[in-house]
């Protein structure tokens, strides 16, 4: 059952309570490998489900527009100081609602409509808010995109430099949503400096790895750093912006009053708790274990004939092109879900298929590492994935059910924060 208890909700609205309990059970019984998901601690769950949600707090600590901020100011200040200490930055804004508004705030802080931005293209592993045409960032700004090399799946930074010199962007973005390799922040910084651009490092996926010392940090290279607070950082669904002192005023002004009203104080409290957890020695062990699991899983998948973009991974994320397996990403993801393995279908670089029916799948090891799985279990996970895809091709639902039962049996030995097995 869900932990903390939702007994009051069960009495007041049993329909919603029942669905929450069902979701908690689902999360417990499946290997959750959506790369942008994780499990938060019970302490984070408790912080986000408090009376803090009752309070409006437009403005910043000491400069609010409503009264009654004596305790809210302390909570937000603690979250800011913990972010600054953990990442080694001059300034942190913990009010942004999620990753997309955080990135949009950077545009508002430094650009005017029509200005040029250089970011990684979505099909290559970038993000919608890096100037992709369907996003407001692609509609309001002149977006130029770089990608990866077809042969290697890696970014050619010489080509990024050539694009920067040709288009003279005011903003360069590094980072994305499907990048399995280490991001070379110093190289991007050198390019940005050469053309006089602001460098934004979007570390939403790797923030926890950076905090735990399992990935190089952009601090000292990027002018602004954006991140969500969930994913590998293992906090609630929120976001942060971090920067040097020079840009602090512009960033804060862009967030409020530029884009948002009152911050979500219950989320701020959850972020503060997660940041405290991320500063512990145990979290450093966790961050390195995430990478070890990903690399072990990648190796096991390669042994089973999976075609991995860039050939493997340096972080938590694996991107696989299923074309050699004779199946598209969407039916594979649906079959894997039926088999108790949760991930998402995903475009791969140079994908000939449409985005809603792409060739690939994306998976990550942050969640299963939180549950306590180790490299020892990764060959079995790879075997289940291979068997499930084979079953999908044969439309063998009984085989999928068998795998799901084995997955559930394995996970019974690995506790899940937020769920107490009966």
| CA 173 to chain centroid | 16
- Which residues are catalytic, by number? 56, 58, 202, 228, 231, 237
Question: Which contacts qualify for 308-313: CB closer than 8 Å, 24 or more apart?
Answer: 308/180, 309/148, 309/153, 309/178, 309/180, 309/348, 309/349, 309/360, 310/148, 310/152, 310/153, 310/154, 310/180, 310/181, 311/153, 312/180, 313/180, 313/181
- CB-based contact 45:4 (threshold 8 Å): yes
Is 2 marked as a binding-site residue?
no
CB contact set of 93 (below 8 Å; sequence gap of 6+): 80, 240, 241, 242, 251, 252, 255
Is 246 marked as a binding-site residue?
yes
Distance CA(1)–CA(361), nearest Å, equals 31
Is 122 marked as a binding-site residue?
yes
Q: DSSP letter string over 215-260?
A: S---TTT-SEEEEESSGGG---S-EEEEE-GGGHHHHHHIIIIII-
| CA 341 to chain centroid | 19
Kindly give the pairing relationship between strand 239-243 and strand 116-120.
Answer: unpaired
Is 76 marked as a binding-site residue?
no
Q: DSSP letter string over 42-85?
A: HHHHHHHTSGGGG----EETTEESSS--HHHHHHHHHHHHHHHH
Whole-number CA gyration radius for the chain: 22
Q: Binding site for (6S)-5,6,7,8-tetrahydrofolate: what residues are annotated?
A: 122, 126-128, 246
């Amino acid at each position: 059952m869900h932990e903390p208890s939702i007994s009051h909700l069960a009495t007041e609205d049993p329909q919603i309570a029942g669905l929450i309990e069902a979701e908690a059970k689902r999360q417990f019984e499946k290997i959750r490998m959506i790369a942008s998901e994780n499990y938060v601690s019970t302490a984070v769950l408790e912080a986000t489900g408090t009376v803090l949600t009752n309070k409006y707090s437009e403005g910043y600590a000491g400069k609010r527009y409503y009264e009654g901020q004596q305790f809210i100011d302390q909570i937000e200040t603690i979250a800011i100081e913990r972010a600054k200490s953990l990442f080694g930055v001059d300034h942190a804004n913990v009010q942004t609602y999620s990753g997309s508004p955080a990135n949009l705030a950077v545009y508002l802080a430094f650009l005017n409509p029509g200005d040029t931005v250089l970011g990684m293209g979505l099909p290559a592993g970038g993000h919608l808010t890096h100037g992709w045409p369907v996003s407001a960032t692609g509609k309001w700004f002149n977006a130029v995109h770089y990608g990866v090399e077809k042969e290697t799946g890696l970014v050619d930074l010489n080509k990024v430099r050539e694009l920067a010199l040709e288009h003279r962007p005011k903003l360069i973005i590094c980072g994305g949503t499907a990048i399995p390799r280490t991001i070379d922040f110093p190289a991007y910084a050198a390019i940005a400096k050469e053309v006089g651009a602001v460098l934004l490092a979007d570390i939403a996926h790797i923030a926890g790895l950076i905090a735990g010392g399992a990935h190089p940090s952009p601090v000292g290279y990027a002018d602004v750093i954006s991140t969500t607070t969930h994913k590998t950082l293992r906090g609630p669904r929120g976001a942060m912006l971090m920067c040097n002192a020079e840009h602090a005023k512009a960033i804060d002004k862009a967030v409020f009053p530029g884009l948002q009203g009152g911050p979500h104080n219950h989320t701020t409290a959850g972020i503060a708790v997660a940041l405290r957890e991320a500063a512990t020695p145990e979290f450093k062990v966790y961050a390195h274990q995430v990478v070890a699991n990903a690399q072990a899983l990648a190796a096991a998948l390669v042994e089973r004939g999976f075609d991995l973009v860039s050939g493997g991974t340096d972080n938590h994320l694996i991107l696989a092109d299923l074309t050699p397996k004779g199946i598209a990403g969407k039916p594979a993801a649906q079959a894997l879900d039926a088999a108790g393995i949760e991930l998402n279908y995903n475009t791969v670089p140079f994908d000939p298929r449409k985005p809603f029916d792409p060739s690939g799948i994306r998976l990550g090891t942050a969640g299963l590492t939180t549950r306590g799985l180790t490299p020892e279990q990764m060959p079995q996970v790879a075997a289940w994935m291979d068997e499930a895809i084979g079953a999908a091709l044969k439309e063998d639902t009984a085989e999928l059910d068998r795998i799901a039962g084995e997955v559930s049996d394995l996970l019974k030995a690995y506790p899940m924060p937020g769920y107490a097995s009966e």
